[in-house]
Amino acid sequence: MTTLLIISLLLHGVTFLWILTLMKRNSIAEHTIEDSEQLKQEIEDILLAYTAEMKEENERLLARLRQKQTEVPQKESAVEKKASPPETAKELAAPKKELAPEPDYEDYQPPLADDGEDVSFEQSDTARVLLLAKQGKSAEEIARTLNVGKGEVELLLKFYR
């Protein structure tokens, strides 16, 4: 009977230890959840501050652009007032030149190639060497056929193998 009592006490002790470890794991998980919520809130605050700052910068830029746009017409009107009237009869009689309208590039089509011309392409020495090598000719035969040096042919073949 005492052995059963000892076994029962040991099992109770192991159970209590197991419950304590589970409680620790649970509390750690809760802390990480709280920390992640806090981190989420901080990131959200930073993003809100950044967007507000960007909005302010955009408004300042827009104000500067509007100011520049109002300055440009004022300068143009001042330049027009300063322009002197034509002094010679030629200037009075000469018609005012109008600016040519800007060409419309949306409908642009590139010129087509002439089909009447025969276009011929010449193979390079490298392509010829490789073609003759594919046909099974030796480096000496290729060199004789193309009137190039044997060493040059061998070098090209080494590069492309």
- Residues 64-104: tens digit of each pLDDT: 999 988 887 777 766 666 655 555 555 555 555 566 666 66
List, as own/partner pairs, every contact residues 108-115 make where C-beta atoms lie below 8 angstroms and the sequence separation is at least 24, other chains included.
Answer: none
Total domains, the chain: 2
**Whole-angstrom distance, CA of residue 90 vs CA of residue 82:** 21
Q: Which domain holds residue 21?
A: 13-82
Classify residue 61: in a domain, yes or no. yes
CA angle in degrees (0–180, nearest 5) for 76-77-80? 90
Classify residue 70: in a domain, yes or no. yes
Classify residue 6: in a domain, yes or no. no
Residue that finishes a domain, picked among 82, 106, 133: 82
pLDDT value at residue 96: 58
Classify residue 133: in a domain, yes or no. yes
pTM for the whole thing? Answer: 0.32
Instruction: Please give the residue that has the higher pLDDT: either 137 or 161.
Output: 137
Question: Could you tell me how far CA 114 lies from the centroid of its own chain?
Answer: 38
Residue that finishes a domain, picked among 65, 82, 99: 82
Classify residue 101: in a domain, yes or no. no
CA angle in degrees (0–180, nearest 5) for 63-64-67? 85
**Whole-angstrom distance, CA of residue 92 vs CA of residue 139:** 83
- Is it the case that residue 13 has pLDDT exceeding 90? yes
Classify residue 35: in a domain, yes or no. yes
For residues 148 and 135, is the Cβ–Cβ distance under 8 A?
no
**Whole-angstrom distance, CA of residue 155 vs CA of residue 118:** 34
Classify residue 97: in a domain, yes or no. no
